């Protein structure tokens, strides 16, 4: 009986719909067909076909391979002449199934060569004012030459190898092809002039302190192997200065010779600690390894200040070994104070370390090493146990740059010791961010040259999670704030960017170099997209498991964007193709609102629509099953008496209930008296869940979330009938601003005119 009823009803309405559709098409031209443009279509066109290297589930496939580059290097830093020289031997292992005819080596310092093409790709015009340094560089040609001087490239037997330098890439021709499974050993001898990183805002170089001492933060300083893999072949896209690096994993044995009174730390484990450390330092170091609650100072401020006064001409060699790292960097100066604390990691512990000059106190002694420790804890919880022995934060002016186990960070007090909140939080945030990069891309080794967002977006997202953890661990540090003042992560902070002019936007899936607004595009938008995914779309439990799965699958490997996208679905059973398409492959934005709300009353009195249908179909009321009618407030059929009509007054319904529902169950039935047809609109492209708060006349409210899939058949508007026992007084979409809705003026019913930021501020300052 029930089946008959519903079939009958749907047939009645379907046929009438078909009749009216036919009427229209007879007079107009037949519409052409179209491709599938549904926003919920799978990403078959965007994604490459899964293969033996990379599976459809997003994991490394059975034939996955990666190349290896091991380095043995002797480095000497000449503090007096600001020069660095090196001799390196590279053992390159061809683990690919391919025959290699040549090798590509990266010469990043050539970006700083006099004949660098980097300035030539930037448009320019006469500026009204120019920094003196750049004026000299641009127009007076007295410029600094910081490019590599390659002295020799030789094979293992000492025979010279032919090489060709194309800007920041060097092709090394081998005597014979390198077959799968073979190794090739060769050496390079080089030197270059070290640049002042403060003047030219570089990531590597020195800064000069007022006492004449220099602090060196040295990175991408040696010729480095390029990545060869199954997706790019050789990744030999030039280094123009902004986009970062793609590097294979390997083991490093590095001897670094510096002035004898320098304090240094670097990627890898110090091999000659007994030679370098005094007895005092050794006992402090032993204490630091057992100190889990606060840093222990290895070199004190007083000691650093005393050392800074003598400029030793003697030399000392620090010996390091690093295993399974993709890069190498070090920091060295007479000025460094050095502290460390231990952090529990799995069944063992690792060290959180800081190096900073006296100029960084009071500030660094309080927060640097603690921020490193919190970062290791939170990032490890979100991914995997930190696999290296230490993470070092080095104080360097204006910097924020990451390398394996070591990073450079800005933030110093004013000369009079004043520390503003923004200096403190800026410093803690940059430390969390750069230390966090150990996970992405140093260990989960994505290709930074091509996909900036893969390391910056994932790190900025996890940075946000860490900052919130930091505030819980050190409430005094953030007081009087309750939460850490995070700049990136919350959905509403991305609205300005997403609402921007389309001609100035690029999808996240754009090479970093080619974006218009690098910071928003590669950092803030992907971090926010992941935060929304975690908080609003997937929920923390499913997101965190999938995110962790991705990190563990690609730990010490080279993932692509698709490997990330696929894993997040594979580990969660949530179809996210629509989310990746909209947030990562397009510049679309979110704008969802309430278009219209209609109030309905239930009655047993037949309404106009059904009467018309009966006439058209030639049937009488007796042919109809028992029906309940809905009448819109204010329509032709509406009568004032309907307002007070109770459900039990609706005869057809009452009879049906009496006949079909046992007496003991009747009491459990809900008795909605208010019916609303709410139409939601979507002026924005991105289909997002409709998060709605219904507020009732008694002041209570209820939140409902309709999944994004509600938009799958109608991209512009959808209706929902809400049956309620209480009268609804307010309907608000996205009440907690969690979807990055760019226009909230359509989010409420009845329409609410919200005072803008400008008027709010003006009222506050001139309360007239």
Residues near another protein (CB under 8 A) are: 111-112, 116, 118-119, 122-125, 127-131, 134, 137-138, 143, 200-203, 241-242, 244, 398-402, 410, 414, 418, 420-423, 425-426, 430, 433-434, 485, 487, 496, 499-501, 503-504, 516-519, 523, 756-759, 761-762, 765-766
Closest approach, Cβ 147 to another protein, in A, equals 11
Closest to another protein by CB, 184 vs 451, is 451
Least distance CB 331 / another protein (angstroms): 15
Tokens of 586: 């397009």
Of how many residues is the chain composed?
A: 768
Degrees, nearest 5: CA angle 706-711-716: 120
Cα separations in angstroms, 544 against 92, 162, 765:
37, 50, 44
Query: Which one, of 436, 445, 454, 457, lies nearest residue 374 by Cα?
Result: 436
User: Min. distance of Cβ 380 from another protein in angstroms?
Assistant: 22
Please report how close the Cβ of residue 118 comes to another protein at its closest, in angstroms: 6
Nearest to 135 by CA among 200, 207, 209: 200
The distance of closest approach from Cβ of residue 398 to another protein in the complex, given in angstroms and rounded to an integer, is 6
What order of strands is seen across the sheet that includes strand 629-632? Answer: 629-632, 593-603, 674-681, 717-724
DSSP reduced 3-state for 463? helix
Closest CB 521 distance from another protein, rounded Å: 11
CA angle 582, 689, 594 (to 5 degrees): 110
Rounded CA-CA distance 688/86 in Å is 55
Which one, 623 or 759, has the nearer CB to another protein?
759
Q: Least distance (Å) from another protein to the CB of residue 504?
A: 5
Q: What angle is formed at CA 124 by the lines to CA 123 and CA 127, rounded to 5 degrees? A: 155
Kindly tell me which of 592 and 691 has the beta carbon lying closer to another protein: 592
Ordered DSSP codes for 79-131: TTTTEEEEEEEEEEE--SSSPEEEEEEE-GGGGGSTT-SGGGGS-----SS--
CA distance 607 to 613: 10
With residue 25 as reference, give the H or E element that holds it.
Answer: helix 2-27
Name which of 130 and 575 has its Cβ closer to another protein: 130
Distance CA 436, CA 433 (A): 5
Neighbours of 492 (CB within 10 A): 15
Nearest approach in angstroms of CB 767 to another protein is 13
Query: 718: which 2 tokens?
Result: 């959808």
- Residue 91 class from Cβ within 10 Å (0-12 exposed, 13-18 middle, 19+ buried)? middle
Angle at CA of residue 73, ends 69 and 77, nearest 5°: 135
CA dist 686 and 729 (Å) reads 28
- In the complex with another protein, the residue whose CB is nearer, 418 or 620, is 418
Burial grade of 262 (CB within 10 A; 0-12, 13-18, 19 or more): buried
Backbone phi and psi for residue 711, each to the nearest 5 degrees, phi listed first:
-90, 5
What backbone torsions phi and psi does residue 626 show, to the nearest 5 degrees?
A: -65, 120
Q: Please report how close the Cβ of residue 143 comes to another protein at its closest, in angstroms.
A: 7
Q: How far is the CB of 133 from another protein (least distance, A)?
A: 8
Find the shortest distance in angstroms from Cβ 762 to another protein: 6
Our CB check for another protein shows the closer of 116 and 307 to be 116
d(CA 84, CA 112): 14
Cβ proximity to another protein: between 70 and 434 the closer is 434
| Closer residue to another protein (CB): 338 or 356 | 356
The minimum distance between CB 517 and another protein, in angstroms, equals 7
For 124, phi then psi, to 5°, come to -150, 160
Cβ distance 575 to 569 under 8 Å? yes
The nearest distance, CB 122 to another protein, in angstroms, is 8
Q: With residue 17 as reference, give the H or E element that holds it.
A: helix 2-27
- Beta-bridge mates of residue 212: none
Rounded CA separation 91/97 (Å): 18
Q: Which one, 448 or 582, has the nearer CB to another protein?
A: 448
Q: Which is nearer to another protein, 736 or 759 (CB)?
A: 759
| Nearest-approach distance from CB 152 to another protein, in angstroms | 27
Residue nearer to another protein on the CB measure, 61 or 143: 143
- Taking the least distance from each CB to another protein, the nearer of 325 and 498 is 498
Residue 528 in contact with residue 489, Cβ under 8 Å? yes
The tokens describing 130, both together, are 């120019």
Q: Rank residues 646 and 762 by Cβ distance to another protein and give the closer one.
A: 762
Rank residues 224 and 410 by Cβ distance to another protein and give the closer one: 410
Minimal distance, residue 682 CB to another protein, in Å: 17
Cβ distance to another protein smaller for residue 241 or 357: 241
């Amino acid at each position: 009986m029930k089946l008959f009823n519903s079939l009958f009803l749907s047939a009645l309405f379907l046929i009438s719909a078909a009749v009216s559709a036919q009427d229209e098409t007879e007079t107009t031209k037949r519409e052409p067909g179209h491709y599938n443009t549904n926003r919920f279509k799978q990403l078959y066109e965007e994604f490459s076909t899964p293969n033996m290297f990379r599976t459809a589930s997003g994991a490394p496939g059975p034939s996955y391979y990666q190349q290896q580059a091991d380095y043995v290097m002797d480095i000497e830093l000449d503090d007096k002449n600001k020069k660095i020289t090196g001799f390196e031997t590279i053992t390159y292992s061809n683990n690919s199934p391919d025959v290699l005819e040549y090798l590509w080596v990266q010469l990043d310092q050539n970006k700083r060569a006099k004949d660098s093409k980097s300035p030539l790709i930037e448009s320019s015009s006469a500026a009204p004012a120019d920094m003196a340094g750049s004026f000299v560089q641009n127009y007076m040609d007295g410029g600094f030459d910081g490019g590599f001087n390659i002295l020799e490239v030789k094979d293992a037997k000492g025979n010279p190898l032919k090489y060709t330098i194309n800007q920041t890439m060097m092709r090394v021709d081998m005597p014979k092809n390198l077959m799968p499974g073979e190794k090739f050993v060769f050496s390079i001898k080089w030197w270059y002039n070290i640049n002042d990183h403060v003047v030219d805002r570089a990531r590597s170089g020195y800064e000069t302190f007022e006492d004449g001492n220099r602090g060196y933060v040295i990175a991408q300083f040696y010729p480095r192997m390029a990545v060869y893999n199954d997706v790019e072949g050789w990744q030999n896209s030039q280094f123009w200065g902004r986009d970062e690096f793609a590097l294979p994993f390997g083991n490093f044995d590095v001897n670094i010779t510096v002035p004898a009174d320098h304090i240094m730390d670097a990627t890898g484990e110090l091999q000659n600690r007994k030679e370098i450390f005094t007895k005092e330092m050794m006992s402090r170091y032993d204490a630091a390894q057992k100190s889990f609650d606060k840093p222990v100072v290895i070199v004190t401020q007083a000691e650093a200040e005393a050392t800074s006064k003598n400029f030793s001409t003697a030399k000392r060699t620090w010996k390091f070994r690093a295993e399974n790292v993709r890069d190498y960097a070090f920091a060295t100066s007479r000025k460094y104070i050095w502290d460390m604390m231990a952090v529990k990691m799995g069944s063992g512990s690792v060290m959180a370390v800081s190096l900073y000059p006296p100029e960084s106190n009071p500030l660094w002694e309080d927060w640097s090493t603690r921020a490193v420790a919190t970062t290791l804890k939170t990032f490890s919880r979100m991914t995997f146990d930190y696999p290296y022995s230490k993470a070092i934060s080095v104080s360097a002016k204006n910097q924020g740059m990451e390398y394996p186990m070591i990073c450079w960070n800005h933030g110093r007090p004013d000369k009079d010791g004043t520390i503003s909140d923004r200096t403190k939080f800026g410093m803690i945030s940059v430390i969390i961010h750069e230390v966090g990069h150990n996970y992405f891309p140093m260990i989960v080794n994505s290709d930074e040259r091509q996909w900036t967002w893969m390391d910056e977006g994932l790190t900025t997202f996890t940075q946000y999670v860490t900052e919130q953890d930091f505030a819980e661990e050190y409430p005094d540090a953030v007081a009087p704030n309750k939460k850490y003042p995070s700049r990136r992560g919350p959905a509403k902070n991305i609205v300005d960017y997403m609402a921007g002019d389309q001609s100035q936007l690029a999808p996240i899936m754009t090479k970093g170099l080619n974006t218009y607004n690098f910071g928003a595009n590669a950092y803030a938008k992907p971090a926010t997209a992941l935060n929304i995914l975690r908080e609003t779309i997937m929920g923390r439990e499913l997101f965190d498991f999938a995110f962790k799965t991705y990190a563990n699958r690609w730990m010490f490997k080279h993932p692509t964007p698709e490997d990330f996208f696929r894993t997040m679905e594979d580990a969660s059973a949530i179809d996210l193709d629509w989310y990746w398409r909209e947030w990562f492959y397009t510049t679309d934005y979110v704008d969802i609102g309430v278009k219209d709300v209609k109030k309905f009353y239930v009655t047993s009195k037949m309404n106009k629509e059904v009467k018309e249908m009966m006439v058209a179909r030639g049937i009488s009321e007796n042919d109809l099953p028992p029906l309940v009618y809905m009448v819109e407030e204010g329509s032709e059929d509406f009568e004032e008496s309907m307002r007070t009509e109770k459900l039990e007054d609706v005869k057809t319904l009452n009879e049906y209930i009496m006949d079909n529902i046992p007496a003991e169950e009747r009491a459990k039935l809900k008795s909605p008296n208010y019916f609303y047809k709410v139409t939601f609109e979507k002026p924005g492209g991105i289909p997002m869940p409709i998060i709605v708060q219904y507020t009732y006349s008694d002041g209570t409210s209820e939140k409902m979330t309709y999944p994004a899939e509600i938009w799958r058949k109608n991209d512009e508007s959808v209706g929902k009938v809400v049956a309620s026992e209480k009268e609804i007084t307010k309907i608000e979409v996205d009440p907690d601003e969690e979807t990055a809705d760019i226009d909230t003026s359509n989010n409420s019913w009845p329409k609410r005119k919200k005072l803008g930021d400008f008027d709010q501020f003006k009222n506050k300052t001139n309360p007239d």
